[in-house]
């Protein structure tokens, strides 16, 4: 019984303990929940108090609203580099209109584009605001997404006139809620929707020095706002977002794209039908515009001022026409006057009224844009600026940027690096040609760049890593063609950005090979001058800028807008490009002359009209559309574009354009430069001058025997210069075992062959020069063999009594017959290449004593050039002929020599005649020799192949020409 009772008691105690534990847990959970609730209520209270305080702050700090102040602006003042005022901006040109004057199509376009619920909300559209806020959060997290702006049309009236443009941080939040407060309690409470619309359309700056829609319509279309049509209304509605970016005079493509977006939104919201939208889209923006704007005043420095305005808006987000500023620029009025006088015809007579030009001058040491030639026949402000707004193909001005610069920087190349100018093409198989249609053979990088050879440029481009080239040019501010479709290249982010959604980005593609020759979307004089400036200053790039600083008139806040210099290449690369381009000017004469007292480097570029334009307009094949000169001194970089903006019958640049562009460029340089001769390019310590041997691959040093005309001395980056000596002209090793056997009047010499060096074998050449010569390898091998001659032996005789030495002839055999000389003589056999005496070995000798008299002489001969030669079907082949010797004396002119060829059915011909082979095969030229009663026969075999085989031979002319060169 005791055991039983104890068991029950134990069970009860266990249950009691479990209950206690559970109760404790519940109490603990309740405490936590209570704590969390208190914290939540506290935070809610704090948030409520904070919200009230913030709301009070907004109300107290909000500016007093007065509709009269909506139309007042404070002028911005622009100063030149010396602090002299050159203009005021913001002197208003405005014609206000009433709501009833506005065509319904414009009202619909504005509402559809800027605020589709304008007529329904009270100044603040909560759903739209939340959607925009959510979109911004998503964008912050993912980097993608665009929900549009959250500002209503009413809020924009407030933002554009009463609050700042700050959009980030605490100030951005304050600005946004201030706009909401003013919109609801100051505008919507006191003004009708029609009156608010009047504020919206009459207040803003809409480009072209115009304020409000009435003045804008007069400026752009030459008509009142009440008379505009759907296409014109959608264009005007698109300007409110960014009048500078969508200026139809300067950026017609962007303006048309924006116009079409407005039409899409109007269709989407039911204001127009799809058919109406499509009909309006068919009308080009340029056809809507008046040819000029007589109401737009022009300052003598207007081209420069236009660039300043664009730069202010881009870098500060403020419009200098509506925000009062003091703008301190880099304008050099003396240099600007030089360009003005050029453009307006005071110092240059232009070809016709339609030819255009754009010029930019950049300080190479700072990146400051000091003057611009914005174009000819400009009438007013904010027009297309040919120095900054155009994108034209740059032609051969691309070669330092896309080809040789990257090769020097990344591939270890130097100015003396060799490239073969022969048949070649793009990787796709499409062939290219040089401008003159010829091939230049082996040449240095320096010469190829200075002479602007297309084929070498493409080869150099193809030899460098594509990604490295892209890095090189984008670091220099050039925009390559690496984006497609709706994406465009963003210079700062170096990615492709969707034109309609800046948050939608994708990686850039590889550069296509046509970049090597400047055949891509193009550039403008400002960007080209800034890129070339890096070659002048030792490898630093600074984004070209017009403004040093701005001071806000209402707050005295000062903002520096100077660009920072960034090293983008080594000083060795920069100097090697400079050395090549100074040679292009002073040595090759690419711009038709130099400028006295000025050290000048320059590169030209040309693009032709395409085949379709030539046919339609009846242009000759030589008609050019764009001509460039981009160059620099130790002080300034200058880029000139000269040409026609579009194809039009009767208007093109002919051959005279080549000299004209050079004269214009030299005139500019002459008038802006220090001509004392004291300014020089600095040679950096990172380069070294080295003499190398031509036609070596890889590049090698010359040997002691290398002829002077096969040497070249150029700059290399230290550490990349060649160190191995070329074997091509090395002294050959001797043969051995020379013996002389006398048989009557004859002496027969025999010897053991010398070892032929590996580098003289065809396979060695093919292996080492395959990449160098490409498809021209076999042709180059034939040229090399004809130039150097065959490997063999020169036989000489020395009269030991008189000390005179004469050559008896050359042979590829190891024996040689000659007439015995009745004197004490020494025979010498030297190993050599037939046409390269510098390779001759020291020689082996044997002595033969002569006899009192001889009874007869023995004829010997030497086949000039190759005894076994090659040719191609259909080509001309000139016989090189032979030399005839009697007892070692040259008697060629006295001997009778006739030539026959059984395969051709010819006989009795003279030597050195020209033959044409009509079919492939082996042909033998037989030389019949007769002299002083003695006769001899010599032969030359010629292997003729089809021209398509790529192994064409070499005529005697090629051999003689090559020998002459050596």
User: What pLDDT does 379 receive?
Assistant: 72
Q: Is the pLDDT of residue 166 over 80?
A: no
How many other C-beta atoms are found inside a 10 Å radius of the C-beta of residue 894?
11
Flag whether 937 is in a domain. yes
User: What pLDDT does 45 receive?
Assistant: 80
Range of the domain at 46: 1-61
Same domain for 186 and 273, yes or no, is yes
Flag whether 311 is in a domain. no
Same domain for 423 and 280, yes or no, is no
Of 828, 856, 884, which residue sits at a domain end?
856
For the record, the structure tokens of 388 come out as 């900054």
Tell me which of 305-319, 462-476, 818-832, 842-856 is least confident.
842-856
Residue 638 Cα distances to 28, 276, 846, angstroms: 80, 48, 72
H/E run at residue 8: helix 2-61
Q: Which of 511, 489, 484 is nearest to 502 (CA)?
A: 489
Does this model's pTM top 0.95? My answer is no
Give dist(CA 744, CA 384) in Å, integer.
Answer: 96
Domain containing 171 — which CATH number?
A: 1.10.3810.10
For the record, the structure tokens of 738 come out as 């020379």
Q: Is the pLDDT of residue 687 over 50?
A: yes
Same domain for 744 and 809, yes or no, is yes
Give dist(CA 173, CA 133) in Å, integer.
Answer: 12
Average of per-residue pLDDT across 825-832: 96
Among the ranges 191-195, 263-267, 320-324, 588-592, which has the highest mean pLDDT value? 263-267
Give dist(CA 174, CA 164) in Å, integer.
Answer: 10
Of 522, 538, 560, which residue sits at a domain end?
522
Residue position matching structure tokens 């305080």: 53
For the record, the structure tokens of 607 come out as 């693009």
Q: Which of 174, 155, 164 is nearest to 56 (CA)?
A: 174
Give dist(CA 657, CA 190) in Å, integer.
Answer: 66
Same domain for 121 and 15, yes or no, is no
Same domain for 138 and 259, yes or no, is yes
Dihedral-angle region of residue 61 (phi above 0 means left; psi in -120 to 50 means alpha; beta otherwise): alpha
Same domain for 880 and 901, yes or no, is yes
First vs last C-alpha separation in the chain: 132
Flag whether 160 is in a domain. yes
In tens, the pLDDT along 28-84 reads 777 788 778 878 877 888 777 766 766 666 566 666 666 666 765 678 899 999 999
Flag whether 672 is in a domain. no
Domain containing 741 — which CATH number?
A: 2.60.40.10
Same domain for 852 and 870, yes or no, is no
User: What pLDDT does 361 receive?
Assistant: 99
Provide the number of structural domains found in the chain: 5
Backbone torsions φ then ψ of 84, nearest 5 degrees = -90, 130
Torsion angle of C-alpha atoms 278, 283, 288, 291, degrees rounded to 10: 160
CA 337 to chain CA mean position, Å: 30
Flag whether 576 is in a domain. no
Same domain for 809 and 935, yes or no, is no
In tens, the pLDDT along 537-581 reads 999 999 999 999 999 988 889 999 999 999 999 999 999 999 999
User: What pLDDT does 466 receive?
Assistant: 97
> Comparing 91 with 726, which gets the higher pLDDT?
726
Q: Which of 534, 635, 629, 527 is nearest to 578 (CA)?
A: 534
User: What pLDDT does 152 receive?
Assistant: 85
Sign of CA dihedral 257, 259, 260, 266: positive
Give dist(CA 436, CA 448) in Å, integer.
Answer: 14
In tens, the pLDDT along 519-538 reads 999 999 999 999 999 999 99
In tens, the pLDDT along 913-962 reads 998 888 888 999 999 999 887 889 999 999 988 865 444 444 333 332 22
For the record, the structure tokens of 355 come out as 């030819």
Same domain for 887 and 949, yes or no, is yes
Query: DSSP letters along 158-200, please?
Result: HHHHTS----SHHHHHHHHHHHHHIIIIIIITTS-HHHHHHHH
> Comparing 7 with 328, which gets the higher pLDDT?
328
Contacts of 796 (CB under 8 A, 6+ apart): 805, 806, 807, 808, 827, 828, 829, 830, 843
Flag whether 678 is in a domain. no
Flag whether 102 is in a domain. yes
Sign of CA dihedral 812, 813, 819, 823: positive
Same domain for 98 and 242, yes or no, is yes
Flag whether 232 is in a domain. yes
Same domain for 739 and 843, yes or no, is yes
Same domain for 785 and 901, yes or no, is no
* Residue 931 · residue 853 · CB < 8 Å: no
Among the ranges 310-319, 362-371, 644-653, 823-832, which has the highest mean pLDDT value? 362-371
Domain containing 409 — which CATH number?
A: 3.40.710.10
Of 488, 522, 556, which residue sits at a domain end?
522
């Amino acid at each position: 019984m005791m055991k039983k009772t104890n068991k029950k008691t134990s069970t009860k105690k266990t249950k009691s303990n479990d209950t206690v534990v559970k109760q404790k847990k519940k109490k603990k959970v309740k405490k936590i929940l209570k704590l969390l609730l208190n914290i939540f209520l506290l935070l809610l209270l704090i948030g409520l108090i904070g919200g009230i305080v913030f709301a009070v702050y907004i109300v107290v700090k909000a500016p007093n609203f007065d509709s009269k102040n909506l139309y007042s602006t404070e002028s911005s003042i622009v100063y030149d580099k010396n602090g002299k005022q050159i203009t005021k901006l913001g002197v208003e040109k405005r014609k206000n209109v009433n709501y009833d004057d506005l065509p319904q199509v414009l009202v619909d376009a504005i509402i559809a584009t800027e605020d589709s619920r304008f007529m329904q909300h009270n100044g603040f559209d909560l759903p739209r605001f939340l959607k925009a806020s959510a979109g911004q959060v998503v964008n912050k997290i993912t980097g993608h997404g665009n929900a549009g702006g959250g500002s209503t049309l009413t809020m924009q009236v407030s933002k554009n006139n009463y609050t700042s443009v700050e959009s980030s941080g605490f100030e951005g939040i304050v600005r946004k809620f201030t706009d909401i407060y003013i919109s609801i309690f100051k505008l919507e409470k006191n003004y009708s929707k029609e009156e608010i619309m009047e504020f919206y359309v009459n207040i803003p700056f809409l480009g072209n020095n115009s304020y409000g829609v009435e003045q804008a319509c007069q400026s752009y279309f030459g008509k009142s706002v009440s008379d505009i049509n759907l296409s014109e209304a959608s264009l005007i509605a698109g300007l409110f977002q960014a009048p500078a970016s969508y200026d139809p005079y300067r950026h017609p493509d962007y303006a048309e794209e924006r116009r079409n977006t407005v039409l899409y939104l109007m269709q989407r919201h039911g204001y127009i039908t799809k058919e109406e939208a499509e009909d309006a889209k068919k009308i080009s923006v340029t056809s809507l515009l008046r040819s000029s704007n007589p109401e737009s005043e022009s300052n003598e420095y207007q081209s420069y001022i236009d660039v300043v305005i664009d730069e202010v808006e881009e870098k500060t987000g403020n419009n200098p026409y509506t925000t009062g500023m003091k703008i301190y620029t880099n304008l050099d009025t003396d240099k600007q006057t030089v360009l003005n006088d050029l453009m307006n015809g005071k110092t240059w007579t232009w070809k016709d009224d339609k030819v255009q030009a754009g010029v930019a001058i950049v300080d190479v040491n700072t990146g400051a844009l000091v003057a611009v030639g914005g174009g000819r026949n400009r009438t007013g402000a904010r027009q297309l600026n040919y120095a900054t707004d155009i994108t034209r193909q740059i032609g051969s001005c691309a070669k330092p940027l896309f080809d040789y610069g990257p090769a020097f920087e990344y591939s270890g190349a130097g100015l003396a690096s060799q490239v073969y100018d022969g048949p070649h093409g793009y990787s796709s198989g499409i062939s290219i040609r040089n401008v003159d249609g010829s091939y230049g053979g082996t040449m240095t990088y320096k010469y190829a760049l200075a002479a602007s050879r297309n084929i070498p440029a493409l080869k150099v481009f193809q030899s460098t890593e594509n990604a490295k080239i892209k890095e090189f040019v984008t670091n220099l501010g050039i925009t390559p063609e690496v984006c497609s479709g709706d994406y465009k290249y963003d210079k700062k982010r170096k990615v492709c950005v969707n034109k309609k959604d800046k948050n939608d980005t994708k990686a850039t593609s590889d550069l296509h090979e046509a970049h090597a020759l400047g055949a891509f979307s193009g550039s403008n004089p400002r960007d080209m001058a800034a890129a070339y400036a890096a070659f002048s200053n030792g490898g630093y790039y600074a984004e070209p800028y017009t403004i040093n600083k701005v001071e806000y008139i209402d707050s005295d806040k000062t903002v520096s807008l100077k660009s920072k210099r960034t090293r983008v290449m080594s000083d060795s690369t920069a100097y090697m490009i400079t050395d090549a381009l100074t040679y292009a000017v002073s040595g090759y004469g690419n711009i038709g002359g130099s400028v006295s007292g000025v050290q000048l480097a320059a590169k030209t570029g040309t693009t032709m009209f395409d085949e379709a334009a030539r046919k339609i307009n009846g242009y000759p094949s030589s008609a050019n559309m764009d001509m460039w000169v981009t160059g620099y001194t130790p002080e300034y970089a200058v880029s000139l574009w000269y040409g026609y903006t579009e194809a039009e019958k009767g208007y093109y640049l002919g051959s005279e354009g080549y000299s004209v562009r050079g004269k214009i460029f030299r005139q500019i340089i002459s008038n802006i430069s220090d001509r004392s001769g004291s300014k020089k390019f600095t040679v950096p310590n990172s380069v070294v001058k080295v003499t190398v041997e031509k036609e070596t691959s890889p590049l090698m040093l010359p040997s002691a025997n290398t002829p002077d005309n096969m040497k070249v001395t150029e700059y290399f980056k230290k550490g990349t210069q060649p160190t191995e000596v070329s074997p091509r002209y090395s002294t050959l090793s001797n043969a051995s075992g020379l013996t002389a056997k006398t048989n009557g009047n004859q002496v027969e010499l025999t010897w053991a062959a010398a070892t032929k060096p590996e580098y003289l074998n065809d396979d060695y050449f093919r292996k080492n020069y395959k990449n160098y010569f490409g498809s021209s390898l076999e042709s180059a091998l034939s040229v090399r063999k004809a130039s150097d001659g065959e490997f063999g032996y020169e036989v000489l005789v020395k009269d030991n009594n008189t000390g005179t030495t004469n050559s008896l002839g050359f042979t590829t055999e190891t024996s040689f017959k000659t007439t015995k000389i009745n004197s004490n003589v020494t025979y010498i056999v030297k190993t050599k290449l037939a046409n390269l005496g510098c390779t001759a070995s020291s020689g082996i000798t044997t002595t033969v004593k002569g006899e009192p008299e001889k009874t007869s002489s023995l004829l010997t001969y030497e086949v000039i050039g190759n005894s076994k030669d090659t040719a191609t079907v259909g080509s001309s082949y000139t016989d090189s002929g032979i030399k005839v010797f009697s007892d070692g004396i040259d008697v060629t002119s006295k001997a009778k020599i006739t030539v026959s060829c059984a395969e051709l059915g010819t006989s009795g011909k003279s030597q050195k005649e020209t033959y044409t082979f009509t079919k492939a095969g082996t042909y033998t030229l037989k030389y019949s020799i007769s002299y002083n009663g003695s006769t001899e026969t010599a032969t030359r075999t010629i292997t003729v192949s089809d021209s398509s085989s790529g192994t064409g031979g070499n005529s005697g002319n090629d051999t003689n020409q090559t020998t002459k060169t050596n």
